[in-house]
């Protein structure tokens, strides 16, 4: 075999090796993680009728305190739609969403406030959501967060601030016998 034939054989072998690696690589065995939908932030997501709710969460200082719902609501229909969020103990808030657009609840001047969150910060609470465009409803879980993360402090609703009821620990007194 001459030098030119050996070079061609080496290139053919390398090309075959690369082809085999691409067919039997990790992507062949494992599913692609980029193909799975997930909530990429602290909030959760749900769909109801023409509405798509993204990065939804409740900001509150406690289970029995008011909570502000923040996130984005997209209306994929050509009509005005009102989103209703039902929380625990009869708490409710409504959000109007214009056709073919979105409403950012954290930027909205009309805050979406639930009178009680029904869960302590760090927990997930189940809320019912409905929309009046197609009269569909569903339930999904939403995280309750507090002002511990500085970016969320501005969203704490009035009456939901931390109470600061911590009592100072008494300092030990020393007794000496003389």
pLDDT at 22: 67
pLDDT at 10: 81
* φ/ψ (deg, to 5) at 8: -65, -40
Nearby residues of 156 by Cβ (< 8 Å), 6 or more positions away: 59, 60, 61, 68, 146, 147
Q: State residue 169's pLDDT score.
A: 42
pLDDT at res. 171: 46
Q: What is the pLDDT of residue 104?
A: 94
Its sign, for the CA torsion 101, 102, 107, 109, is positive
- pTM exceeds cut of 0.85: no
3-class DSSP string for the chain: CCHHHHHHHHHHHHHHHHHHHHHHCHHHHCCCHHHCCCCCCCCEEEEECCEEEEEEEEECCCCCCCEEEEEEEEECCCCCEEEEEECHHHCEEEEEECCCEEEECCCCCCCEEECCCCCCCCCEEEEEEEECCCCCEEEEEEEEECCCCHHHHCCCCCCCCCCCCCCCCCCCCCCCCC
The segments of the chain whose pLDDT lies below 70 read 1, 20-41, 108, 159-178
Predicted confidence (pLDDT) per residue in 67-89, tens digit: 999 999 999 999 999 999 999 88
């Amino acid at each position: 075999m001459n030098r030119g034939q050996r070079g061609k054989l080496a290139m053919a072998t390398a090309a075959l090796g690369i082809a085999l690696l691409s067919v039997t690589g990790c992507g062949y065995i494992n599913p692609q993680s980029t193909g799975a939908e997930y909530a990429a932030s602290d909030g959760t997501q749900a769909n109801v009728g023409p509405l798509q709710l993204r990065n939804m969460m409740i900001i509150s200082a406690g289970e029995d305190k008011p909570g502000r719902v923040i996130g984005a609501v997209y209306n994929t229909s050509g009509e005005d739609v009102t989103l209703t969020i039902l929380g625990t103990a009869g708490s409710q808030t409504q959000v109007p969403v214009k056709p073919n657009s979105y409403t950012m609840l954290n930027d909205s001047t009309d805050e979406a406030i639930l009178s009680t969150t029904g869960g302590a910060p760090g927990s997930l609470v189940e809320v019912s959501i409905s929309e009046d465009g197609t009269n569909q409803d569903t339930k999904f879980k939403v995280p309750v967060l507090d002002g511990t993360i500085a970016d969320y402090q501005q969203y704490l609703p009035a009456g939901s601030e931390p109470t600061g009821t911590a009592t100072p620990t008494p300092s030990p007194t020393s007794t000496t016998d003389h």
